[in-house]
Amino acid sequence: MFKEIKKEWLFASRSGRLFILIMSFLFLAVLTPIMLKVLIPEIFRMQFPNLSAEDLDLMINASQLTAVGGFLSDLFELGMIIVVFTLCSVMSQEIRDNTLVFPIVSGNKFVHIIAAKITFFGAVLSALTVLAILICYGYSGILFEFEILIQDVLMAGLMQSVYFLFVIANLLMWGAILKRTLPTGFITLVIAYLTQAVGGLFDIHAYLPSGLIDFSTKLQFEFAGIASSLAVTVGLIVVMLIITQLTMKKMEYNIR
């Protein structure tokens, strides 16, 4: 499977996908603390010139906790769009452009092709999430003060990473089924935002992948609260990967 991972690395780096992901995650990581420390107070001062510095602090409630929490929210809301539309072509475009033909006729197995994609992009997104959250943690700690436990931050990053695996599994499955890039991206986004909305509306985050996002933004590690959501997410990822493999096995390649 390392051979297939090498292919993913080569294709992703050459297509600029890696660059887009790295820049986006780093931008979000440093943006939130700066927003809280500099931009929002400045906007408030311009809007309410008579407000005292103490009142301003009370209104903004700027701290490391709000900075890291804000980053994690941004990662779900903005980062999700970037991730989905950067990676929505990972499967669908390969099928449409016939770039899977060579690997298939070279004897690469479907299970290896799929496993390589989720492993590679899962590893990239996990590394970027953890790196970005650590940057946000460190930078916001310097700007404000360190008040969150590093293990809670790392656990939040880890849960976000698992959620991104769920997103990638969606992109692979819908990409294989629809063979179209934009519909794949839109369906994945709808699923992500819908589960988040439904989870919040009916208070069932614990039974949905959205529970991982909900948990991570709280920045307090409690395994009991996350176990069911984690199990459901992992289960869904496995099911989606199996569907992807079955779809690819039935599929006809070399579109003319």
Select the residue interacting with another protein from 52, 201, 223, 256 (CB under 8 A): 256
Q: Within a 10 A sphere around the Cβ of 177, how many other Cβ atoms?
A: 18
Q: For the CB of residue 170, give the shortest distance to another protein in the complex, in Å.
A: 22
What are the residues whose beta carbons fall under 8 Å from the beta carbon of 194, sequence distance 6 or more? none
126 binds another protein (CB under 8 A): no
- Interface with another protein, residue 55, by CB under 8 A: no
Q: Does 10 bind another protein (CB under 8 A)?
A: yes
Q: Applying CB under 8 A, does 175 fall inside the site for another protein?
A: no
- Tell whether residue 31 is a contact of another protein (CB under 8 A): no
| Residue of 237, 215, 238, 204 whose CA lies nearest to 155 | 215
Of residues 15, 63, 73, 126, which one binds another protein by CB under 8 A?
15
Nearest to another protein of 50, 256 (CB atom): 256
Q: Which residues contact 201 (CB under 8 A, 6 or more apart)?
A: none
Q: Please, which of residues 234-253 interact with another protein by CB under 8 A?
A: 250, 252-253
Would you state the structure tokens that stand for residue 78, as one six-digit string? 């903005």
Q: Using CB under 8 A as the criterion, what x/- string covers residues 129-168 for binding another protein?
A: ----------------------------------------
Closer to another protein by CB, 5 or 134: give it: 5
The neighbour count for residue 186, using CB atoms within 10 Å, is 16
Tell whether residue 179 is a contact of another protein (CB under 8 A). Answer: no
The residue type at 103? P
Instruction: Report the residue number, 45 or 249, with the smaller CB distance to another protein.
Output: 249
User: Which one among 55, 98, 146, 147 touches another protein, defined by CB under 8 A?
Assistant: 98
Query: Contact with another protein (CB under 8 A): which of 79, 103, 141, 211?
Result: 103
CA distances from 163 to 39, 101, 125, 236 (A): 30, 30, 10, 11
Joined together, the tokens standing for residue 88 give 């929505």
Q: Which is nearer to another protein, 69 or 103 (CB)?
A: 103
> CA 238, CA 242: separation in Å to the nearest integer?
6
- Selected from 38, 105, 190, 239, the binder of another protein by CB under 8 A is 105
Cα–Cα nearest to 129, from 19, 24, 11, 248: 24
Question: What DSSP string describes 212-247?
Answer: HHHHHHHT---HHHHHHHHHHHHHHHHHHHHHHHHH
Record the tokens describing residue 90, joined without a space.
């990972």
CB of 8 to another protein, least distance (A): 11
Binding of another protein by 108 (CB under 8 A): yes
Structure tokens at 41: 């107070």
Number of residues that bind another protein (CB under 8 A): 25
Residues that bind another protein (CB under 8 A): 3, 6-7, 10-11, 14-16, 97-99, 101-108, 250, 252-256
